Amino acid sequence: MDEKQILNGINLQVKAGEVHAIMGPNGSGKSTLASVLSGREEYEVTEGEVLFQGKDLLALSPEERAREGIFMAFQYPVEIPGVSTINFMKTALNQIREARGQQALDAVSFLQLMKEKMKLVEIDQSLLSRSLNEGFSGGEKKRNEIFQMAMLEPRLALLDETDSGLDIDALRIVAEGVNKLRSKNNAVVVVTHYQRLLEYIVPDVVHVLYKGRIVKSGPKELALELEAKGYDWIKSEATPA
Amino acid sequence: MSKDNQILETITTKEYEHGWAVNLEADEAPRGLNEDIVRFISAKKQEPEWLLLWRLKAFRQWQKMTEPRWANVQYPPINYQDIIYYSAPKQKGKPNSLNDVDPELIKTFEKLGISLTEQKRLTGVAVDAVIDSVSVATTFKDKLAELGVIFCSFSEAVKAHPALVQKYLGSVVPMNDNYFAALNSAVFSDGSFCYIPKGVRCPMELSTYFRINAANTGQFERTLIVAEEGAYVSYLEGCTAPMRDENQLHAAVVELYAMKDAEIKYSTVQNWYPGDKEGKGGIYNFVTKRGLCAGDHSKISWTQVETGSAITWKYPSCVLKGDYSKGEFYSVAVTNNYQQADTGTKMVHIGKNTSSRIVSKGISAGRSQNSYRGQVHIMKRATNARNFSQCDSLLMGDKCGAHTFPYIDVENATARIEHEATTSKIGEDQIFYCQQRGIDEESAVALIVNGYAKEVLNQLPMEFAVEAQKLLALTLEGSVG
């Protein structure tokens, strides 16, 4: 195993109702941050703590985190042959409900919920009956991620490079879906390389990640500044002379 | 060790669920095998002379044969003299109805989740229950009789329908077909017999549950299904055994005979005891299953979900003799820990315009070895024969093996044959994706495996499909974690 320190010094507070964007050049640790928060085991947290609604997040397994209300939209959604999105969501939703002490949804209520969410994120049922992500286009995969987010109604959604591989129309539809799901009770962290997505999902705060540290935070205009000037000025600012 | 392997390591630790034995008083033959034992079995069953002679002939042929060792499985030599060839649960007289059946036996089947009391039975499934060597109960017999459908234990059929049995016994699997078929022909104890008359569509699923209970006992059941012209039947077979340290031998023979326009659908969920995590104990399953599509436009379809047995040696086959006849083989074979499976099918195309379809899904975990062995044989006269084969292997971890041995023999140039094969691994990424949606690891593996095996599971009748899905999950529980 490669032992390499990727993140060092992340200090981030996200409140309910807020949208935060995490930007940074390639290799700055953006996706690692999303992976650590969602509980991928190949990353070890050597120091610090992550609190989610007062709970020690790092002590929880990935599925426990999901049941607490953390959702990650994957940069590369995984294919599962023979398992439809419908079946996948039914299994997921009912395991989450069970963990929360709620009754499993019966087939009729599940279908109702699904229909409602399908409409919200403009996804076609024929896509949901197919094997999960198998043979999906880039746009279909990302839209399917947002559909899943709508179904599971997370308290914190992490969007990991959701804009990658999307044309402008797909990007708009995905962003609209996310916007419809925003409320004062949930929060969104958008991890992205480009400012483009942030035109549609407008963040409250923008953070710049560089060499595993948040080197700059600011209002949404910071994203525009990065777009105009690139990351070089951040790099020179962040590197002590 | 990578995380993948750690995960897989842990899902393989679930205990065998049906591993209990009941204290049933048994009526047993002495250990070992010779002509006297064959006579003993025949006498116990009060058989007519022709059947005794048939058995003895089979026994003499068996003595001249040698055990086949070409399969990709390894096991110590079997001492055929150390096995008890007949064991029957003791009953006070012959049961006339379910009320007369030993309550211990009824309880045994209830533990298996099979209710023999007809009020509580699964809707539309008639059950024949075979424990050790003897059929203990058959449900719904009367209702089936109204249609002329015969569904009873093999012993009963020998008494009540001797002409039918004599006509078809050994007609699809000759007594000297192979070593284990010959052994079975000599010592078979019971099994199911099923006859569907001309033009009758059997209105319910027919089902046999086999259970080995007594120690040191071999089980040698024999099933014979005959579908007359235009008849249809769907038949299910399930099997379990208690956990025992020593290996137990199981050598069954199944013969299917389909006349013109007839269709037989045969489904198996095989869950014999697979042995423990170190590979100790378990059933040696050497089974000969063959169907003959004798008439034109007949169809035979095998579906099997194989999760049990220490060793599986099994090739349900179709002989497509009638023109336009069809053979199908759908299989999911799961091996875990030290299990070894060498299974597949044989499609023999004799008639014109015959077609066959093979879908095999192997899943290997732990230190198991899983082999697909299949033969597609297009004979000279089989003009326009078609075959499609798909053989997929799924690996869990890096200590197991998956092997594919497809044989294709074509003697007629008009044949069209397609063969597809894939090998894949359950990925850490797939499992993590499920977990991130709130699904725990074991359910994730179950979901992924069921998705992989879906095409085969879809072939099973509804009640069985649910059972098979659970069984797949149980077998692989602990191989991830």
Residue scoring higher pLDDT (B13 or B246): B246
pLDDT at B1: 40
Could you tell me the two tokens for B102? 């030993």
Q: Do B440 and A78 touch (CB under 8 A)?
A: no
Q: Does A83 touch chain B (CB under 8 A)?
A: yes
Number of domains in chain B: 1
Report the complex ipTM: 0.95
Task: Provide the chain A residues 132-151 that lie in CB contact (below 8 A) with chain B.
Answer: 148
**Widest CA span in chain B:** 68
Residue scoring higher pLDDT (A1 or B127): B127
Residue B252 lies in a domain: yes
Residue B135 lies in a domain: yes
Q: Do B455 and A81 touch (CB under 8 A)?
A: no
Count helices and strands in chain B by DSSP H and E runs: 12, 23
**Which tens digit of pLDDT belongs to each residue from B41-61?**
999 889 999 999 999 999 999
Distance from CA of B335 to the nearest CA of A (A): 20
Instruction: Find, in chain B, the residue whose alpha carbon is nearest to that of A70.
Output: B436
Chain B residues touching residue A61 (CB < 8 angstroms): 435, 440
Region A170-198: mean pLDDT is: 90
Contacts of B202 (CB under 8 A, 6+ apart): B144, B147, B149, B196, B231, B232, B233, B234
Instruction: Find, in chain A, the residue whose alpha carbon is nearest to that of B458.
Output: A82
d(CA B379, CA B351): 8
Region B153-171: mean pLDDT is: 94
Band of residue B23 on the pLDDT scale cut at 50, 70, 90: low
**Which tens digit of pLDDT belongs to each residue from B84-134?**
888 776 654 444 555 555 666 566 656 555 555 544 444 455 666 666 555
Chain A residues touching residue B390 (CB < 8 angstroms): none
Q: Which of A38, A39, A78 lies closest to B429 in CB terms?
A: A78
User: Which range (B178-187, B200-209, B384-393) has the least confidence?
Assistant: B200-209
Q: Report how far apart the first and last C-alpha atoms of chain B are (Å, whole number).
A: 13
Band of residue B359 on the pLDDT scale cut at 50, 70, 90: very high
Q: Return the SS3 of A14.
A: coil
User: Which range (A53-62, B114-123, B285-294) has the least confidence?
Assistant: B114-123
- What's the residue count for chain B? 481
Residue A2 lies in a domain: no
Are B299 and B261 in contact, with CB atoms under 8 Å apart? no
| CA B416-B417-B422 angle, 5° bins | 155
Q: What is the pTM of this model?
A: 0.82
Q: Do B451 and A83 touch (CB under 8 A)?
A: yes
Residue A6 lies in a domain: no
Q: Do B450 and A82 touch (CB under 8 A)?
A: yes
Chain A residues touching residue B438 (CB < 8 angstroms): 63, 66-67, 92-93, 95-96, 99, 152
Most confident of the following: A192-206, B106-120, B154-168, B450-464 = B154-168
Count other C-beta atoms under 10 Å from residue B422's C-beta.
11
Q: Does pLDDT of B242 surpass 80?
A: no
Residue A14 lies in a domain: no
Q: Does pLDDT of A98 surpass 50?
A: yes
Q: Does pLDDT of B241 surpass 70?
A: no
**Widest CA span in chain A:** 64
At position B24, the amino acid (one-letter code) is L
Distance from CA of A221 to the nearest CA of B (A): 32
Distance from CA of B436 to the nearest CA of A (A): 5
d(CA B241, CA B221): 14
Residue A50 lies in a domain: yes
Distance from CA of A239 to the nearest CA of B (A): 36
Residue range(s) defining the domain that contains residue B395: 3-476
d(CA B11, CA B33): 41
Residue A8 lies in a domain: no
d(CA A171, CA B417): 45
Q: Does pLDDT of A122 surpass 70?
A: yes
Q: Does A82 touch chain B (CB under 8 A)?
A: yes
Residue B375 lies in a domain: yes
Residue B215 lies in a domain: yes
Give the rounded distance of the alpha carbon of B265 from its chain centre. 13
pLDDT at B128: 67
Residue B481 lies in a domain: no
Residue A167 lies in a domain: yes
Q: Do B435 and A66 touch (CB under 8 A)?
A: yes
Q: Does pLDDT of B171 surpass 90?
A: yes
Q: What DSSP character marks residue B47?
A: -
Q: Does pLDDT of B289 surpass 70?
A: yes
The domain spanning residue A77 has which CATH number? 3.40.50.300
Residue range(s) defining the domain that contains residue A228: 19-238
pLDDT at B7: 44
Residue A220 lies in a domain: yes
Number of domains in chain A: 1
Q: Do A82 and B438 touch (CB under 8 A)?
A: no
